[in-house]
Structure formats: structure tokens, C-alpha cells
Chains A and B, each alone.
Chain A
Amino acid sequence: MVPSATFKAQARAALADEALQRALGGLPGGLVARRAAAVRELPEFETLRDEARDIRDRTLADLDLYLEAFTQRAEAAGTIVHWAGDASEACSLILDICRAVNAGLVAKGKSMVTEEIGLNAHLEAAGLSVVETDLGEYLVQIRGETPSHIIAPAIHLTEDDVERDFRRVHAHLSKDRTFGGPADLVAEARAVLREKFLAADVGITGANFLVAETGSAILVTNEGNGDLTQSLPRVHIVVASIDKVVPTLEDAATLLRVLARSATGQEMSAYTTLATGPRRAGDPDGPEACHLVIVDNGRTRLLANPDTRAVLRCIRCGACVNHCPVYNVIGGHPYRSVYAGPIGAALTPGLGGVRENSDLPKASTFCGRCEEVCPVRIPLVHIMRHWRSELAQRRAASPGKRIGLAIWSSLAKRPRLYHAVMRLAVAALGARGRRRGSFSWLPFARGWTRTRDLPAPEGRTFQQLWHETRRGVPR
């Protein structure tokens, strides 16, 4: 188990990191405002969320049959479908495909599942060069970091950070060049990455959805990098997890309506491409071969458990992350999870083990803002609580915490005893704190009193006051 001190230490470091705070300042908040504006423009939005939830639930309930139907149609269109039970199987399958075509350079579109399975490290260890082509992912890659946000991987970086990194990494360009703003930086990245697209042997992308009706993989981007990745190299590999299947194009339409609005507040992202198989007879462009690797990596476990199945509804919009008060002040890296924020806290313990990720479900105030905005209405708080209770059952909590919780739970189950103890405690605290009106130190309450005073209770419990008022006893 990773000691929970690590998360706390990293969160504290993030709070003290001025550059990070400047980068984060208002950015997730800006996405919040843009989502709200897009929702106002579409009166049917709440209905669409209900339908989006139902589409995901119904598909998950018959997932075996939808996967079979999808595969049949994808194979009929010439896609070669592979299956991977876990991360290492997925990585070796993909490496085998690359080796079979003597690939040296691999261009990648943005894909969370390839982050999850650690694909880049696996391919690089085998001697391949891998280039991330989504601008945010490229920035993170040249810094040797991991993405800090599902849809904005480099949200933790400022313009100055990017300029420094470009000067360091693009050493072949003139040292005297100047940058007049983000547009110049984007232009340089465009020119550098264009060469990579054209030279790459293999293009690897993720998929936002797999459409069972047509055997298509849907890819949504704003930059267009995913399309260059899946159209220029001679081999295209799609990596997708088993939960990406949707039945029909109509269902895809409903999900697309809530996806971009929830993510960036756009009505549609710039590019939504349905790719079905390799280049057709007569096509002047497109890959000669198209592979699809369908990955489980722990998802069937989440599917089997009624408490966690709903997390597989996720369409990776990042709205829960943008609205999370914890994420907003510490950013994504302290979570040390590919998926940061509330969705990571709900998903990652199921994929990577609850003991290995014990900090994540605890890194939440349970305020519920994430649930309020989730386009597919995932009960994120319920799922985080499920992981917390699993941790408690596995005795993963510290002895002090366990004893405290045991005392509390035996009290809470005995109302009479509970009220008696509360009367005593409140009377004692009231008597002790009457003079100052607050406490700056209390046993067992250091977590509260370290940063603020605890107001002293007046001396009687709410229940006492309630009964007295009802009886008409003057105070």
C-alpha cells in the first residue's frame, strides 16, 4: 500500500507551488463557465443526460452481445480485432503489430487507455520512437511527465513553461527565434509534429465510442491530430476498452450532444470522425491495415459489482474534474493516477486495486458537485464511499482510525446512549469554552484546530433545545 502521507505531501507541495497555482488559476473554472453557458443554450440537456445514462446502462447490461455484434461488423469492414485481458497483454499485442511491419516511428493520438496500460514505455523499451501528437500530450511527453487532466493534459503548465521546453527540445531551430504568444508556440509545434505524421509507420489512436451497428470507431478531437494519425501512416491501431461500445449511430448522436458540452462547452468538438476499417479499393489515402485492440484491464471486475458498474458509463469528458474543489487547488499530479479528480477516485481503485490507490477515494469532500454535472449521472460519491468502506473492511485504515470508527458506529446505533453521551460532551465543552467562545486546541480534533478555531457549543444539544421549545419552556 502506498502510504497516504505521499498524497498529502504532494498536495501540500502543489498548494505551495506558485507556478502551478498560476497555471491552474481559473482554468478549470473557465471550463465550468463555458459548460454552464452551453447547457443554457440547450433546453433538452437534462433529458439528454437521462437518455445518455440509459444508453450506457442498457449497453453494459448486454455488453457481451454488443461486443460480438460490433466485432462482426468491424471484421466485415476489414478491421483486425484483438483482445487483451490486461495491460501487459495489450502492450505486447501492440508491439507485435508494430514489429510485424518493421515500424520505427509511431505517431499517437490522445488516448487515456494507452496511458493506463503504459504503452509508450513498453514500445520505447523495445526500441521504437513514440511521438504524442495532441499538443497537450506532446508537452507532457517532452517534459517526462504524466497528463494532469483527462482532456487538458498540460493544464498545469504556463506559456513560459512551454517556451522553455520548446527551446530545450527543438534544438535544431534557431536559438534567436522569438515567441510573441501562444500562436507562435502552436505554429512551431505544428511544423515539428507535421514531420512526424508524415514519417510515422504506425498511427495509434484511442476511441471515444465503438458503434456496434457499423463497426466504426469514433474519435473526437479539436486539433485534427487524431485524424492525421489515423490517415497518414500505413498502419492504424485503435486501442479501446470494452466499455466503449454503443449500439447505434442514434445513440452515438445523443452521447456526442452531451460530450463536448460537458467537456469544453462546445456544441460539437471541431472533428468527430467515424473510422471503419482500412483504406478501400480506389481510396487514394488512408492506412493499408487497421487493427483494433479491445482491452479489459480490470473492467469486467467493475462490471460484475453492482456498486461499481456505473463507473463504466463514463465518456471521459472531464466535467467532474473541472468542478472538483479538491482538483481545482492541487491539480492532477498529486493523485498519481492516470485518471485524476473524482472519476479517477471512482475508477482507478477498480482498475489498479483499492489498497494500491487508497488515497484516491479519500481525496474528496463528498460535496457532490461532480455528480451534479456528470453527463451520464455516475453516482461518483457512492462509488468513492464504496471504496472507502472496502478499505475499512480490509483493515487498511490505521488502528486509531479503526478504533475511533468502531466507537462511533456502536454509539450511532444506540440512540439513547448516543444522546446521553452528546449531552455530557456538549455540556462539558460549553462549560470549558464559555469564556473564550471557541477552542484553538482540542484532543482528537487537530485536523480541524490546526488551521481554524472550533466555536464552543452553547451547552445544550439541538435535541434538548428542540424539546424545550416544543414544551414552551422559556429559555
Chain B
Amino acid sequence: MNRDHMIARVRSALGHPRPDDSERLRRVESKLSAHRRNCVPRRAVKLQPELARDFAARLTAVGASVEHIADPSGIPERVAAILSEAGLPPHVRTGSDPFFAALPWSRADGLTRAAGAASAEDRATLSHALAGIAETGTLVLASGPENPVTLSFLPELSIVTLAQESICGSLEDGFDAVRHRFGPGLMPRTVTLVSAPSRTGDIGGRLVMGAHGPRRLVVIVVGAPDAPGGAVLLERSSDQY
């Protein structure tokens, strides 16, 4: 069956036999371009620093850890400490991300870093989120050379950095951040919303972490705790983090 065949079948089921649907077409096109928001829960309409607090509280409630550091130069040492606390070897996989490449890795003694897609041997990875959503405690990760999607799913421990000012209120704000980065209607291969470590309840209904993806999720929020956020996100140029 080809497309026209199926569309004709749907059209006849709907009782629109005539091919002229200029009015319906206008309605659909305007719906698709308007991006009109439906009800946005009040809990999502807040300012910093409340957004960052909600974001951290919601992620923590579902078994993730959230840490804050003031300056990105502290990331390598934090990563080394997180790996050692988790009892993992001092090796981390990142994407080919200029942001990570520019960090002072030599400060973290003994920690090695490899760039590229994750492999089955990688036990810990470090990715960079495009945005955080306070409403649900959700990270927004866009795939690409700087952020291979396998980083989020293959390792036991997934560490994700996020700029404090990228924490926004609602799911809609998160999608707007994606539109802002890639252009309306355009998407990277994957946009992944991560709201908890991997989990399953399929054996006897009991919750177990680390079903197929990471057992542990650690988020490092970078920036001063009282930094502005939310609305500011949309005014930043797209090559900035």
C-alpha cells in the first residue's frame, strides 16, 4: 500500500471525499506553525533560584544525585571524585565536545578521558545537557558529535553537566530550547529527556535500578546558585552553552 492509498482510506473514513480541503489544510498548517501552549502547570512557572531547587529536588527524589559547582574548571576534579566514590576506575568517556576539551583535566590526578561514542567497555560517561526542566527534574540532551547518544545509555554511571542558567520551568520551555538551538521543525537525530536513572519493576513489581541503562545518574549543575535562568535561555546565542 502506498501513501496516497492510505491517505485516501483515512479520508474516506473521515467522510472527506472531496480533494479540496483548503480550509482544513489552513487549519492544520497554522496549528503546526503556531506552537500554541496548552495548560502549563503552575509549578513550572517560577524564577531562579527556585527553578534550580525544584529541578534538583525532583531528580533526587527518583534516585539521581545533583551537585553544584560554581565554575566549570572544577568539573574534572568532581568527576574524579564521583568515580572514586562509585568504586569505578578513573576513566571517563565524553563526546568530542570543545567545552569538555577546554577543561583543565590535568588537575584531576590519574583521571583519563576518551572522546567519541561510548563502547560496551565504558563504565562511566560525561555528557552535557542542553537544558534542564524544573517541572519534572528532566535533562534535555541533544545527540551529535559533541554528545553521542550512546553516552547516556551504555555505561553504569552517567554524569551530566548542565549550566545553571539552562534550567527552565516547563517541558514546553525545554522544547523551545531545542527549537532555539536547531531551528523550528528541525531536530538532531535524537533529543533525549532523562528524568531518572534506568529502572525496571518487571520482576515481582519491585523497583530495581540499572535495567539496561545507567544504574547511577549524577548531575553537576555549573554556575552560581543565584544565577538568572529560564527566560534568559532564549536570548543566548546558539554556540554558547
| A interface residue numbers (CB < 8 A to B) | 23, 27, 30, 42-44, 47-48, 51, 55, 61-69, 71, 73, 77, 81, 83-85, 89, 133-136, 139, 152-155, 157-159, 162, 181-183, 185-187, 189-190, 193-194, 197-198, 212-216, 222-225, 227-228, 230-232, 242, 247-251, 253-254, 256-257, 264, 266-280, 282-286, 294, 296, 300-301, 303-304
Minimum CB–CB distance for A419 against chain B, Å: 44
CB neighbours (8 Å) of A183 from chain B are: 208
**Are A253 and B145 in touch, CB under 8 angstroms?**
no
B172 is an interface residue with CB less than 8 A from chain A? yes
B164 within 8 A of A: no
Cβ distance B151 to chain A, nearest Cβ, rounded Å? 9
* A214 to B189 CA separation, bound complex (whole angstroms): 11
Is there contact, CB below 8 Å, between A283 and B203? Answer: no
| Selected contact of A270 from candidates B15, B144, B195, CB within 8 Å | B195
The size bracket of the interface on B is 35 or more
- Contact call A152/B202, Cβ cutoff below 8 A: yes
Tell me the B1-32 residues at the A interface (CB within 8 Å).
Answer: 1-3, 5-7, 9-16, 21, 24-25, 27-29, 31-32
Residues in B with CB closer than 8 Å to A153 are 202
Chain B residues with CB under 8 Å of chain A are 1-3, 5-7, 9-16, 21, 24-25, 27-29, 31-32, 34-39, 41-43, 58, 62, 95-96, 116-118, 120, 135-138, 143-145, 148-150, 152-154, 170-172, 175, 178-179, 185-206, 208, 210-214
The answer for the CA separation of A405 and B13 in the assembled complex, in Å, is: 33
Contact present for A152 and B201 (CB under 8 Å): yes
For B96, the chain A residues whose CB sits under 8 A away are: 284
Let me know if A283 and B202 touch, CB within 8 A: no
Q: Contact check, B39 vs A44: say whether CB atoms are below 8 A apart.
A: yes
B27 close to A274 (CB less than 8 A)? no
Interface centre among B58, B116, B143, B197 (most CB of A within 10 A): B143
**Cα distance, A89 to B152, chains bound together (Å):** 35
Q: List 14 A-B contacts (CB under 8 A).
A: A63-B10, A65-B28, A69-B28, A84-B1, A152-B201, A186-B203, A186-B210, A213-B32, A227-B152, A248-B32, A254-B38, A277-B189, A282-B144, A294-B6
Report the separation of the CA atoms of residues A223 and B194 in the bound assembly, to the nearest whole angstrom. Answer: 11
| CA–CA, A157 and B214, complex, Å | 25
Contact pick for A268, options B15, B136, B178, CB 8 Å? B136
B3 with A83: CB separation less than 8 A: yes
Q: How far is the CB of A19 from chain B (nearest CB, A)?
A: 12
Q: How many cross-chain pairs have Cβ atoms below 8 Å apart between A and B? A: 277
B10, closest chain A residue (CB): A64
Which 5 A-B pairs give the minimum distances between C-beta atoms?
Answer: A224-B213, A223-B211, A136-B202, A304-B13, A268-B195
Q: How far is the CB of B25 from chain A (nearest CB, A)?
A: 6
Given contacts A44-B39, A214-B187, is CB(A253)–CB(B175) below 8 Å?
Answer: yes
List, in ascending order, chain A residues with CB within 8 A of B200's CB: 135-136, 186, 222-223
Of chain B, the residue at the smallest CB distance from A134 is B202
Q: Is the CB of A63 within 8 A of B153?
A: no
Q: Are A228 and B205 in contact (CB under 8 A)?
A: no
Q: Which of A223, A294, A296 contacts B212 (CB 8 A)?
A: A223
CA distance A62 to B15 in the complex (A): 11
Bound-state CA distance A227–B149 (Å) is: 9
B211 to chain A, nearest CB (A): 4
- Of all chain A residues, which has the CB nearest B138? A268
A271→B193 contact, CB < 8 A: yes
Tell me the complex Cα distance, A48–B40, Å: 9
**Known contacts being A182-B203, A271-B193, A294-B6, is A285 close to B36, with CB within 8 Å?**
no
Q: State the CA gap A262–B77 with chains docked (Å).
A: 41
Of chain A, the residue at the smallest CB distance from B118 is: A285
Among B1, B58, B175, B213, point to the contact of A249 (Cβ < 8 A).
Answer: B175
- From B1, B21, B29, B39, give the contact of A51 (CB < 8 A): B39
Report the bound CA distance from A55 to B38 in whole Å. 10
Q: Which of B13, B154, B171, B185 contacts A300 (CB 8 A)?
A: B13
Residues of B within 8 A of A47 (CB): 39
Given contacts A83-B3, A223-B212, A247-B32, contact A269 B195 (CB under 8 A): yes
Contact of A303 among B10, B43, B196 (CB under 8 A): B10
Residues of chain B contacted by A267 (CB below 8 angstroms):
58, 135-137, 195
Q: A223-B213, A253-B38, A253-B171 are in contact. Are A185 and B203 (CB under 8 A)?
A: yes
CB A154 to nearest CB in B, in angstroms, measures 5
Q: Provide the residues of chain B in CB contact with A231, threshold 8 Å.
A: 149-150, 153, 190
Q: Which residue from B37, B58, B135, B210 sits with its C-beta under 8 Å from A190? A: B210
Asked whether, in the complex, the Cβ of A64 is within 8 Å of the Cβ of B205, the reply is: no
Complex: chain A residue closest to B170, CB-CB: A253
Complex: chain A residue closest to B63, CB-CB: A270
Separation in Å of the B199 CB from the closest CB of chain A? 5
A225 & B13 in contact (Cβ 8 Å cutoff) = no
Contact A155 B205 (CB under 8 A): yes
User: In the complex, what distance in Å separates the CA atom of A183 from the CA atom of B198?
Assistant: 13
- List 15 extra interface pairs beyond A62-B14, A213-B185, A273-B190, CB under 8 A: A48-B39, A51-B38, A69-B28, A69-B29, A181-B206, A213-B35, A214-B187, A216-B191, A222-B196, A249-B175, A250-B37, A276-B189, A282-B145, A283-B145, A285-B118
Chain A residues, CB < 8 A from B179: 249
Task: Indicate if the CB atoms of A62 and B27 lie closer than 8 Å.
Answer: yes
In the bound complex, what is the Cα–Cα distance between A300 and B16 (angstroms)?
Answer: 13
A242 to B8, CA, bound (A): 13
Kindly state the separation between the CA atoms of A223 and B36 in the bound complex, as whole angstroms. Answer: 32
Residues on the B chain within 8 Å of A304, using CB? 12-15
Whether B3 contacts A81 by the Cβ 8 Å rule is: yes
Would A135 and B202 be within 8 Å (CB), given that A67-B10, A227-B152, A253-B175 are in contact? yes
Distance in Å from the Cβ of B104 to the closest Cβ of chain A?
Answer: 24
On chain A, the residues within 8 Å of B211 by CB distance are 135, 186, 189-190, 222-225
Q: How far is the CA of A296 from the CA of B13 in the complex (A)?
A: 12
- Closest residue of chain B to A44 (Cβ to Cβ) is B41
Does A286 contact B189, Cβ atoms closer than 8 Å?
yes
Q: Name which of A63, A64, A228, A251 has the most chain B CB atoms within 10 A of its CB.
A: A64
